[in-house]
Structure 1
Amino acid sequence: MKPKFMVVFWKELRETLRDKRALGLLAMFTLMYPLMLGYLLQQQITRATKPEREGINLAVIGATQAPTLMSQLKQKNIEVHEVAPMNEHAIGDYLKARKAVAVLRLSDKFGENYREMRPARVELWYDSATESDARQRDIEEVLTAYGSNVASARLLAHGVSPAALAPIQVQRFDTGSSAARSAGLIGSILGFLFFPAFICGLSAAVDSTAGERERRSLEVLMAQPARAWELVCGKWLASGSLAIMGITLELMLAHAILSWLPLEEIGMSWRLSWPDLLLVCLVSVPLSLFAAAIQIAVAMNARSFKEAQSVLSFVMLAPMIPGVVVATLDLKTADWMYLVPMLSNQTLLREIAKGNASGMLPFALTFLSSAIPALLAVAFASWRMRSERYVLAV
């Protein structure tokens, strides 16, 4: 004979799986975050591997006065188009029409000032409202390099070494590994990878408590020969199972995407192995059960299905607060982080991705940080279920 809580578990699970809305929610949150992470990284890789200064159109007024500058711009893959003189209003209209990234206007006395070694004025016009900031900076880099070359040539003409303007040379050596850089970047959104633990089982948790009480089907269930803790455990395991499936599939999908992407193109790597991922999924099981237990305990105190959803929408934000605070304050990894639900999972995954040998203690702390609060929440819900005021909604 099956244990009574298993009978309740299979009943709740079958009812949830018949709900297309719940399955759609499970699929959406399982796929959304890994695909979003993969898309963002793919865009960064695309920008890093495309040809230098590709697609930069520069309109130049008075280009004939600086042939050397025009040649240097073309050498840097910047397309130079000479245009007729324009006033300020016409330049603004030209840029708004997006005919060029920027307009370079050389002063009428540019050639004269250049020959007499006086500052030759160059005006760079651009529209900051358009998405061309990076390309505009590329043009400025070429102009700066051109000015430096001219200055060096003038110093040599006067018998002065250009090295006199650079009394020190700074050489930078980065000892950070590509895995550590990867974890640092990806770690900023690791919290979202664990957030489905609080989403995938939400519908089942609310429907099996506040929903059943609103439909008056809970009274029939309470009349069966089963104790309160058996009913709560069955509902808790049904909701927790959906959350476990969702977060496990999501972590595996995210790992597959990160392993497939050519992160080496942007100086990064993803060194998490499948055995490490399975350990992360294992210690994430209590997080899903903790989320289900909190949702059931909170939803049991709501008078209606809508009230339970409204309250839980705020409760679900609470586990994300520690991760946001740690990321905002840029705190270093500490042992206390493994004692906070959800933050412990984020910290553990980030440290493993960095390649740091953590040992088994962080895994154990991460497991217990969610398992103990989950059992306490289930105990509270079982005590609440024994109340006639709860069952009768009085």
Structure 2
Amino acid sequence: MKEILAIYWKEISDAMRDRRTLMMVIFSSLLSVPLLLFIFSTVMSQVESQAIDRTVYAVNMKDAPSLQNFLERQGYKIKEAPADYEEKSRKKELSKPVLIVPANFDEDLAETKHVDLEVAYDTSNRQAEMGLIPLRRLLNNFVQEKTSLDLLMRGISPDVLQSIGIKERQLQRTDERKVTITAMLPMVLVMAIVMGGMFAAIDSTAGERERGSLEPLMMNPVSGWQLAIGKTTAVMSVSILIVLLTVSSFFPAQAVIGNEALKAEFQFGVKDAAAFLLVLIPLAGALSALQVAVSLTCKTFKEAQVRNQLLSLVVSFMPMFFIVNPGKEPAWLTWVPVMAQTQMMNQVLKGELVAASSFGIAIVVALAIMSASLIFVSKKMREVVAQ
């Protein structure tokens, strides 16, 4: 036990010595979630501001008094678009789409001619594009009203064209939280774990091998198991520290959310944090052990870095399954590391009760990965020195 503790403290000291990398990892863990939530709330506020802003920029509205009357009845203010609206939209000086009314609009409608309203916006102008949906909805309502009035003028009830009504009934529980944008947060947590332990894992294995400090360590009367446990536990400690810092950053992150809808959606309490830790700490241990095993197969720091980056890429993309394949998750996901943890974190964010069996399976799988990695590392340690 003394030998394992000695190796553990040596590796922790080495990890703490590289303060620049350590500070970068710690600060990224503390700032990633608040920064992400701040960006999300800013984007949502921009979308809502476009919906709230009751201003329509138009060209040639004088030829469409019926449309102007409809827009004003809906509480919208009509402004004449600048002559160079195309250039202003490209330069993002105009934050609204522009409604272009064709000449003789009302006259052509009176003669039952087909007319087209055009909405101009630059696709690179995100703010103008956000205003497209409310404007399109407004124009659709005008078309429906105009069609209904035309039918009534001809003695035909508009209900003839709408004999089927569609109603929505939401089946969401009253205590269930919505999870839309915040569904990306589990991906951030998984990436933080992977990146947090990677440098410590590389430095304690391939780094020492490249510096020539691994051979003197092996000359001490320690077994492969003691080396494997000491080094892996040290890397696990760094990863678990990253987990604690990232999860704790969720609490101050709620203060930077400027959007009320997102603030109501993202409710993260002490119980949620405890569930996250129960989910993530075993995963952090499993990934740390796996990173040590991968790094030990490499002869140089750069080679270990490339292999671990490939591992990080695979692990980081696994949670995207829930974005590209929404719906009922298959039962086998409970046995897949990373994906099982992502599923459970999404359930916690929704306010759902996570089954105890899910926690149990995730812990068993994590322990299996740790055990397999430790067995591999303990056997590989002596081979590395012999090479």
Q: CA deviation at 1:213?
A: 1.4
In 2, Cα distance between equivalents of 1:221 and 1:233: 14
Q: What corresponds to 1:6 in structure 2? A: 5
Contact kept in structure 2, 1:33 and 1:193, CA below 8 Å: no
In 1, Cα distance between equivalents of 2:181 and 2:88: 39
Q: What corresponds to 1:65 in structure 2? A: 63
Q: What corresponds to 2:108 in structure 1? A: 113
Q: What corresponds to 1:353 in structure 2? A: 349
CA RMSD of aligned residues (A): 3.1
Q: CA deviation at 1:42?
A: 0.9
Seen in structure 2, the aligned counterparts of structure 1 residues 140 and 262 have a Cα distance that, compared at 3 Å, is closer
Contact kept in structure 2, 1:29 and 1:199, CA below 8 Å: no
Seen in structure 2, the aligned counterparts of structure 1 residues 123 and 329 have a Cα distance that, compared at 3 Å, is closer
Alignment of 1:310-349 (within 5 A): 310-330=306-326, 332-349=328-345
Contact kept in structure 1, 2:192 and 2:243, CA below 8 Å: yes
SS in 1 for 2:59: strand
Q: TM-score, normalised by structure 2?
A: 0.86
Contact kept in structure 1, 2:89 and 2:122, CA below 8 Å: no
SS in 2 for 1:365: helix
SS in 2 for 1:318: helix
Aligned residues: 382
User: Do structure 1's residue 102 and structure 2's residue 98 form an aligned pair?
Assistant: yes
Contact kept in structure 1, 2:337 and 2:366, CA below 8 Å: yes
Bigger shift: residues 30-39 or 284-293: 30-39
In structure 1, the gaps of 5 or more residues are 85-89
Q: Which has the larger radius of gyration?
A: 1
Amino acid at match of 1:212: E
User: Do structure 1's residue 126 and structure 2's residue 120 form an aligned pair?
Assistant: yes
**Cα deviation code 1:292-340 (max 9, x no counterpart):** 2111111112111111111111122233454333542335234422222
Seen in structure 2, the aligned counterparts of structure 1 residues 71 and 259 have a Cα distance that, compared at 3 Å, is same
In 2, Cα distance between equivalents of 1:217 and 1:319: 30
In 1, Cα distance between equivalents of 2:170 and 2:90: 42
Amino acid at match of 1:214: E
Q: What corresponds to 1:370 in structure 2? A: 366
In 1, Cα distance between equivalents of 2:99 and 2:316: 47
In 2, Cα distance between equivalents of 1:78 and 1:179: 39
Contact kept in structure 1, 2:34 and 2:252, CA below 8 Å: no
**Cα deviation code 1:74-127 (max 9, x no counterpart):** 44434321788xxxxx8856765766732523323x34334x442363542514
* Percent identical residues: 22
Q: CA deviation at 1:291?
A: 1.6
In 2, Cα distance between equivalents of 1:324 and 1:96: 33
Seen in structure 2, the aligned counterparts of structure 1 residues 112 and 22 have a Cα distance that, compared at 3 Å, is closer
In 2, Cα distance between equivalents of 1:184 and 1:101: 26
Amino acid at match of 2:307: V
In 2, Cα distance between equivalents of 1:150 and 1:319: 55
In 2, Cα distance between equivalents of 1:3 and 1:238: 15
In structure 2, the gaps of 5 or more residues are none
In 2, Cα distance between equivalents of 1:49 and 1:233: 53
Q: What corresponds to 1:304 in structure 2? A: 300
SS in 2 for 1:80: strand
User: Do structure 1's residue 175 and structure 2's residue 179 form an aligned pair?
Assistant: no
Q: What corresponds to 1:87 in structure 2? A: none
Contact kept in structure 1, 2:8 and 2:234, CA below 8 Å: yes
Seen in structure 2, the aligned counterparts of structure 1 residues 312 and 102 have a Cα distance that, compared at 3 Å, is same
User: Do structure 1's residue 295 and structure 2's residue 280 form an aligned pair?
Assistant: no
Q: CA deviation at 1:6?
A: 0.8
Q: TM-score, normalised by structure 1?
A: 0.84
